Amino acid sequence: MKIGICVNHFHPSVGGAELVAKTIADYLSSEHKVFVFTRKLKEKRNPTNYPYPIYEHIPGDESGFDKRIKSLQLDLVLIYSDVFDFFRPLINQKNKFKLIVALCGANWTYQHRGFLTVFRHAKNVDKFICHSKFERDYKLCQSENLIQKTVIIPNGVWTSEFDNNTLKRKDILPDLVNKKWILNVSNFFPGKGQEHLIDILSELSNPEQLVYIQVCNDIEFPIGHQLEQKWTLLSKHLKQKGMIVKLLKNQPRDKVIGLFKQSNAFAFTSEKEVAPIVLLESMAASLPWISANIGNAEELAGGKCVSTVKNSQFHVIFGNRTKSIFAQELQSVMNSPSLGEEGRKLIDKQLTWDKILPMYQMII
């Protein structure tokens, strides 16, 4: 079978969606002929890194994309996220290939409310994938026309990455081995909420014993640089209290996993998610975590989920009361190292990629 996978950003770009899309592409390419369609990167991709061709496009070049798709005579197209540049023409037109859409939060659809009627009568889509029943994309698929086409496929992790990682604290931050490490892994995108975490950490007791570690990657968009600069300015407040703040950018994968395994708590203050990979990675590392009730956090284990008020877009509102509750629960999580073991048990039981990936094979 010839399969096209469409996603706006793909490896070597680093983020949850990029990681999942590459994992799916790698898996399907073992039995099928896979083609990846994604936005053009400033830097060149190394073709030897992939067992399949990657076709890069420029946003807006619908004609070039359509010509490429038709020339390949694909049997199936998987759109990973409705923010893909050519999502709308693909679901509007009658295609010769089977079409599957992983909504990933349905961000584009919710931002274009006039499109909802068209979406709910999307006859050209064969299957919709949601990562959990807890997010707005699943609510969107509850209409009579869509529910029978909808399947739940969770995200997962490779536990071997964590089990084989032998990095110790002295290998990562040798001068801070005796401190308590609070980890956040998220790029500076709108809604990731790193600024909320600074407010929350400022309420913790004994700040001189704490290290706040922010892991991220550089991103191409100007908004990312603006948010990072804002965060840098705000983080000075924590340093004035005696807390150590470390910004670790563009780290190798083994070091990031080492941080998950060696930290005392994972604190996630994102305002909007679907099925965040970083929470699963925290669970795989047996690291206790805390998060607002975003995405599927409520069905996970090994941490604490803070109930919050959400706006009309289902995004968390981090008010002062929520931040205070978050700080109290984070203090509790840091003092409960055994809590993380429950997360690892759930990962081993249900959320490893070797259990999840065959679900994609079943629906193609």
pLDDT digits (tens, 9 = 90+) for 162-195: 999 999 999 999 999 999 999 999 999 999 999 9
Residue 43 pLDDT: 80
The pLDDT-based confidence of 221 (bands split at 50, 70, 90) is confident
Residue 282: closest CA among 298, 310, 303: 303
What's this model's pTM, rounded to 2 decimal places?
A: 0.93
Residue 1 pLDDT: 96
Helix (H, G, I), strand (E, B) or coil at 178: coil
Mean pLDDT, to the nearest integer, of 37-56?
90
- Whether 267 has a pLDDT exceeding 90, the answer reads yes
Residue 119 pLDDT: 80
To the nearest 10 degrees (0 to 180), the angle between helices 320-334 and 194-201 is 70
Residue 269 pLDDT: 98
Average pLDDT, whole number, for the chain?
A: 94
Give percent helix, percent strand, percent coil of the chain, each to the nearest 5.
45, 20, 40
- Whether 229 has a pLDDT exceeding 90, the answer reads yes
The pLDDT-based confidence of 83 (bands split at 50, 70, 90) is very high
Residue 13 pLDDT: 85
Q: What is the dihedral of CA 2, 156, 251, 21, to 10 degrees?
A: 20
